[in-house]
Amino acid sequence: MNISRGDDGQLPAKESQHFIRGIAASAGAAVGTAVRMFDPLFVPFNFKLQPDQIRVEVDRFRASVEKSREQLKRVQAELGRKSGPESSFLIDAHLLVLQDRLFVDRIVEKIETEHINSEWAIQQVSDDLLQAYDRLNDDYLRERRGDLEDIVRRLLHNLQLKRMPSFKKLPYDSILIGKAVPPSTLFELRSRRIVGLATETGSPLSHTAIMARSLEIPAVMGAADLSHVSSGDLLIVDGNRGLVIWSPSEETLEEYRNRGRDEKKHRKKVSGSASGPCITEDRVRISLGANINLSEEVKTAAANGCESIGLYRTEFDFFREGKQPDENSLVEDYSHVIKAAKGAPVTFRTIDVGIDQKTWEGVNLNLGARGLRFCLENKDVFKKQLRGLYRASINGPMRILLPFVSTIDDLDAAREVLAEVRGELDLRRQSYDPGVPVGVMIETPAAAQTCDLMASRVDFLCLGTNDLIQYYLVIDRSDQSVMHLYNPYHPAILRCLHQVHTLLQPTGKPITVCGEMAADPPAAAVLLGLGFTSLSVNLAAYPRIRRMIRSVSFAQLRELAAQILKMQKPNEVEEKVRATVYRT
C-alpha cells in the first residue's frame, strides 16, 4: 500500500501523522487545508422520448453545448488577464471537443435515432470515446481523456440547469483533493486561494498537471489512498517527492515551513544572478536553453536571462484557435517570437501531433501517425508551417527541428519537402534565410541506434529523453502500476545515452538534451558526465539547473559517469550520483 498502516492492517488514528505516496506532478511544497472535490460526472435519469419530443430534446442539447462554449470563452478571457499563457491552450483543447462535429453530431444522432434523452446519449457516446482513449499506447494522448470527461461534466451540469461549482468561499490555504480535479477547475480559481493539489489518479502528463505547473501550484498525482482524507484535514503536499503527509506532526510542519522560508530567501538570492553564462567549477562552458510551449513564454525566458529557446513546441500555438492558422499569421507569430528572444537563437520544433488533431474515427492504437510521420502524411499543413518559418527567419537566429524521426527514409522525404518549400519561396521572390539550420529529434530507439547516419543529413540534433526512456524500457508513464519502473538511471538508459554521444562525437554535429531528465539536477549531472554540454529545460527548472552546473566539476562528473556505467542497479546509481552532486 501507499499509506502507512498499523500492524492490524487498519488505518492509523487521524491524530497520527502518516504518508501517502503518489507521483510528483508539479514542484514545490505546500501546507494547507484539504478541500475534497466530488465528481459530478453522472447521469441522473435515462428515458425514451416520444417522436414529438425529439426536436425539443435536440434543441435542449445544442443549447447546453452553446452555454458550455460561452462559459469557456469567458474563462479564457479572464484567464488571459490573470494567469499564465499555457492556460489558454488548455481551454482551447476543451473548445475543440465542443467544436468536433463527430462528437456533437454523434450525440444528436443518438437522440434522433434511438429516441433517448440528451443525458443518456452523452453517456453512450462519451463511454465509447473514453474506452478508445484507454486503449491508446501513447501516455500523452491517453491523458487527453480528462478533457473529454471535463466537457461531459460541464454539459451535464448545464443540461440539469445547475450552476457550475463556485470556489469563491474557499479558504486561502486550500489544497484541492479528489479522484480527479479537472483542469477547468483550476482555470476558474484564483490561484491565491489554492496552495496545493493532490489527486488519486492522473499523471504529470495530464492537462491538470500542466496547469498546476503553469500556476506554480505544488501537485501530487496517482495517490490512490487519498480517498481516506476528508475536507478540513491538515495536509502537506510535497510536489518534489511525490508525497502527501496527512495530519502532519508539529515537527514536520515546522520543517516544511522552514523549507518554505529558505526557498523564498534562495529565490531572492539567485534572482540577482540570473544572467551570465553557465560555467562549471573547473571552467567548462555549458549551454543552457529554455523549453517553451507558447509564444508568450519567450518574454519570460528572455527576462530571466535564458541563453536560447532550445525547444519551442509549435503545435500548441498552431492549433490554439481551434483551427489552422494561415501562412501570413504564422509568419507574424514566428517573427514575434524571434524578435522577443532579443537575439537568443530559437529552435522551432515542427508540429508533433497525432490522433488528438484527427477525427474520433482516426484513433491510432499503434502510435502510427505523429511527429514527422503526421507531417509527411499532411504535406499541405507541413509546407505551410515551413513557409511561415522560413519567411520569419529574416528576423533573427533560428533553427528548424523535426520531431519523432525514426527512419532515414522519413528524414530524406522531409529534406525534399524543405527543398520544395525553399523553391516555392524563390519563385514568389519572398525573402528568407536559406541557411536556417535543420535538425532532428532523437527520441526513439531506432533513432538512437542510427543517430550518426542521421547526423550526416542534418545540422544539429536534440535528444528527447521522455519518449526515449519510455520506449527503451517498455513502460507506459501514465500507468501507475509500472510508473516506478520508469527510471533514467537504468543501466540500459545510461548505455543508450553513452552510445548516442559516442556515435555523434566523430560527426562534430551539436546535440542538445531537452527532455525532463535534463530538468532534474542529479539526472542532468549524469548527462554532463556522459559528455553532453548543451541542455534545454522548462522555465521552472532553469534556475535550479543553472545552480547545479555552477556547483559541480565537469571532470569529476566525467569520472562519475565512467563508474556508474559499470553499475548494475538503478537505485545504487542514483545514490552515488546524488552523493556527488549534493556532496553528502
Annotated active-site residue in 278, 462, 496, 514: 514
Q: How confident is the model at residue 13 (pLDDT cuts 50, 70, 90)?
A: very low
**Is residue 282 predicted with pLDDT exceeding 90?**
yes
CATH topology of domain 51-159: Enzyme I; Chain A, domain 2 (1.10.274)
Which string of DSSP letters, residue by residue, matches 204-272?
TTSHHHHHHHHTT--EEE--GGGGG--TT-EEEEETTTTEEEES--HHHHHHHHHHHHHHHHHHHHHHT
Q: How confident is the model at residue 266 (pLDDT cuts 50, 70, 90)?
A: low
Domain boundaries, the chain: 18-40+166-252, 51-159, 280-441+510-581
Annotated active-site residue in 18, 94, 207, 501: 207
Q: What is the DSSP letter of 520?
A: S
What pLDDT shows up at residue 241?
A: 81
**Is residue 245 predicted with pLDDT exceeding 80?**
yes
Task: Indicate the class that CATH gives domain 18-40+166-252.
Answer: alpha beta
| Contact indicator for 210, 90 with CB cutoff of 8 Å | yes
Distance of CA 409 to the CA centre of its chain: 29
Q: What is the pLDDT of residues 122-147, one digit of tens each?
A: 878 887 787 777 666 666 555 667 77
115 included as an active-site residue = no
Instruction: Say what the pTM is.
Output: 0.65
Q: What is the pLDDT of residues 79-124, one digit of tens each?
A: 666 555 555 566 777 788 888 877 899 999 999 998 888 888 887 8
Which helix (H) or strand (E) element contains residue 149? helix 145-159
The Cα–Cα gap between 267 and 403 comes to 34
Superfamily covering domain 280-441+510-581: Phosphoenolpyruvate-binding domains (3.20.20.60)
Give the rounded percent of residues in the chain with a pLDDT score beyond 70: 79
Length of the chain, please? 584
Return all residues near 86 (Cβ < 8 A) that are at least 6 apart.
Answer: 210, 211, 213, 214, 293, 294, 297, 316
| Contact indicator for 154, 68 with CB cutoff of 8 Å | yes
278 included as an active-site residue = no
Q: What is the pLDDT of residues 46-78, one digit of tens each?
A: 667 888 889 999 999 999 999 998 888 887 776
Q: Locate cell 502537506: which residue?
A: 236
Q: What is the pLDDT of residues 198-236, one digit of tens each?
A: 998 887 767 678 778 766 789 999 898 888 887 788 999
Q: Between 163 and 350, whose confidence is greater? A: 350
